[in-house]
Structure 1
Amino acid sequence: MSTTSPEQNKALVLKAFDTLFNQRDYEAAERFWSDSYIQHSAHIEPGRDGLFNLIRSIPSGLHYEHGMILAEGDYVIVHGRFTGTGRPSAWIAADVLRIENGKLAEHWDVLQDEATLTESKSGLPMFGNRFPA
């Protein structure tokens, strides 16, 4: 169990995601991800290098925005949207991260293509309060 609070862990995750996904500052991002980072995502190669290499391969328009974020102990879950990935629709993600020694140590995610109004059976957006343009 870490000595950081849930609020500190949430702030760490948001800063890390902004640094890597929006700023694409790989050198600065290294300080947020553990050298022994464990990646559970089926679409990302192992470790920190696997994640960083994936982001390097995505067009320069990549953008991440977060929505709801929850933390308990060493775990953070953040609901977010990835746009500009080169795919036809944005990805809506629930990222689960384990924090260890002030760094992102382990990651799981659930990804889904964002539905339009006509595709949504509920009539509600998957992220935020409006559908994508």
Structure 2
Amino acid sequence: MRHMKNETANTQAILKFYRVFYNEKRFGEGAMLLAENFINHHPGVAGQGRQGMIDDFGRHARDIFPDFHIEAKRMVAEGAFVWTHSLITGLPQGAGAVSVDIWRFENGAIAEHWDVAQGLKPDQNPASMF
């Protein structure tokens, strides 16, 4: 049995997380959407848990990609999971990237994250990924 109300709430939580945490760089506020014991399966992330996400991404945003921005182009929710297909800009290599992220919710909080990303080439057909 699907829980559309939860799926809608989870989708809205991811959009808020993208906006507040990643795009506005209000890490403390955005991280409140994460479970205290949040697990990030991204291989480049050193820290785990809510505070680990704040520390790790905060350092990257400050030192490596201060102009990082993510825009969800497509989203699908089913049960405790939300998938996003997103455009990332503001990366050091310049052209940006496309990512597909999977977010798992538990007790109304973002509990777990997986992703795959592919860099874009400057001369790439903009419609090729979206």
Q: Normalization by structure 2: what TM-score? A: 0.82
Is the Cα contact below 8 Å between 1:38 and 1:46 reproduced in 2? no
CA 28–88 in structure 1, closer or farther in 2 if over 3 Å, else same: same
Structure 1 stretches of 4+ moved >6 Å? none
Q: Which has the higher helix share?
A: 2
The number of aligned residues is: 122
SS state of the match for residue 5, structure 1?
helix
Is the Cα contact below 8 Å between 1:97 and 1:105 reproduced in 2? yes
Deviation at 1:43, TM superposition (A): 1.2
Unaligned runs of 5+ in 1: 128-133
State whether structure 2 residue 65 is matched by structure 1 residue 64.
Answer: no
State whether structure 2 residue 115 is matched by structure 1 residue 109.
Answer: yes
Counterpart for residue 16 of structure 2: 15
Unaligned runs of 5+ in 2: none
2-side partners of 1:107 and 1:20: how far apart?
15
Counterpart for residue 94 of structure 1: 100
Q: Which amino acid aligns with 2:30?
A: A
Quick one: percent identity of the two aligned structures?
A: 25
CA 8–61 in structure 1, closer or farther in 2 if over 3 Å, else same: same
Q: Which amino acid aligns with 2:36?
A: D
Is the Cα contact below 8 Å between 2:67 and 2:91 reproduced in 1? yes
1-side partners of 2:98 and 2:124: how far apart?
15
Counterpart for residue 131 of structure 1: none
- The CA RMSD measured in Å over matched residues stands at 2.0
SS state of the match for residue 86, structure 1?
coil
Q: Normalization by structure 1: what TM-score? A: 0.80
